[in-house]
Amino acid sequence: MSEIDQDRQIGPVTVGEIRGQAEALSDEVIALRRAFHRNPELGMEEFETAATVAAFLRALGIEVTESVATTGVIGLLRGAQDGPTVALRADMDALPMDEDTGVEYASCVQGKMHSCGHDAHTACLMGTAKALVELTDCGRTLKGNVKFLFQPAEEGPGGAEPMLAEGAFEDPVVDAVFGLHVSVEHAVGTVGSRSGVITAAADEARIEIIGSGGHGAHPHKSVDSVIVAAQALTALQTIVSREVSPADAAVITVGRIEGGYRNNIIAPNVKMETTIRSLSDETRDMLQDRIEGILSGITGAMRADYRLDYQRGYPPLENDREMVDLFFDTASVLLGPSAVLDIPEPSMGAEDFAYFARAVPGCFFRLGVHNAEKGLGVYPNHNPKFDIDEGGLVTGVTVMTGVALAYLSRES
């Protein structure tokens, strides 16, 4: 606590007031998170979640727009004084999997689970909205505006790009954007980020190797698609090991392969499904080009053919240096410097917050939820036993509230 100056001003309020308001909202935010956790909804199906969010915001006196990109919700807290507009984002969707945590607030819906923390993100942003309303007298002491973006379908097919297409950053125009994601790699009570790329692009390719089937005893009368696929699979791995700079990073994972009927039948075709990750647009373009080149070359040399369905997903998420500096400065003042971490390298996971951060300067940060002593935040995202230390929710509300106020109080 000696690291924190409670009387320091962030915009119209003090550090102590922000921390106190976030702490006062702790039980309510935890209850919201648990309600969402019990009733998970998949991407573009977040109707009940969105309705809860919209009603909550309206009760605070915040302007609400619903059904943005199907189930998205936008809240607008208008300041009484002219100024910029900062956006804060949370994703709302769950994953199609069963839960195996045994907690009393476990999913009540078979085959659906909040195993990536989006329930926590939504609850944090709702708490942040309430904190900002309380701290600014419903915007009367606010210089500028705050937009609250509750986004559908981050896990797919993606809700950020459709929200932008439907005017999420317009009327008023958004000048900067911040978002968070829970992290089981960081201790509860901490936050972290980095300048530059923080998450990777995520593309996928569906490949079909086309040969000519026949009897397994007479391979010379066929074109064995299994052999061709084996050569192609091996060669694809050389793209990362021999064509991507050792100072860069990329991943080509063939996660599924299917072909053949039985041991004495030469398969006429083999299908492969891949995920492709990269940290820059240049590497992303190169990977797509080389995958096509390798498939063309190997199948051509071995008298086979191929089909390639290459789908681009989310782009790399690149944090703006100025927004990251603001995040670090503000979080350090609110939490103490020791609780704010400089993340050394990007994740090869992907995030569609990248679209928001490409539209305006942005900062995406990690919210620590790991607590080994309590056995919380010890399983990775997308695991059926995933859960978090809910103490991190207060930290999330504190920092999101603080960065919004800090951005709006910057000297122009």
Which active-site residues does the annotation give? 93, 154
Both tokens of residue 63? Answer: 């302007």
Distance, in Å, from the CA atom of 33 to the CA atom of 315, rounded to the nearest integer, reads 29
Cβ–Cβ < 8 Å for 361, 157: no
Cβ–Cβ < 8 Å for 265, 216: yes
Collapse the DSSP code of 180 into the 3-class scheme (helix H, G, I; strand E, B; otherwise coil) and give the result: strand
Distance, in Å, from the CA atom of 335 to the CA atom of 327, rounded to the nearest integer, reads 12
Collapse the DSSP code of 18 into the 3-class scheme (helix H, G, I; strand E, B; otherwise coil) and give the result: helix
Closest CA to 388 of 128, 193, 183: 183
Beta strand segments in 285-332, E: 305-311, 317-319
Distance, in Å, from the CA atom of 382 to the CA atom of 370, rounded to the nearest integer, reads 15
Both tokens of residue 209? Answer: 């190797």
Region for 394 from its dihedrals, namely left if φ exceeds 0, alpha if ψ lies in -120 to 50, beta otherwise:
alpha
17's enclosing H/E stretch is: helix 15-24
Collapse the DSSP code of 230 into the 3-class scheme (helix H, G, I; strand E, B; otherwise coil) and give the result: helix
Distance, in Å, from the CA atom of 29 to the CA atom of 16, rounded to the nearest integer, reads 19
Distance, in Å, from the CA atom of 321 to the CA atom of 36, rounded to the nearest integer, reads 34
Cβ–Cβ < 8 Å for 35, 56: no
Closest CA to 11 of 88, 81, 74, 58: 81
Distance, in Å, from the CA atom of 391 to the CA atom of 398, rounded to the nearest integer, reads 12
Distance, in Å, from the CA atom of 192 to the CA atom of 324, rounded to the nearest integer, reads 10
Distance, in Å, from the CA atom of 293 to the CA atom of 73, rounded to the nearest integer, reads 43
258's enclosing H/E stretch is: strand 250-259
Helix 392-408 × helix 118-135 angle, to 10°: 50
HSE, CB side, 13 Å, CA atoms: give it for residue 181: 23
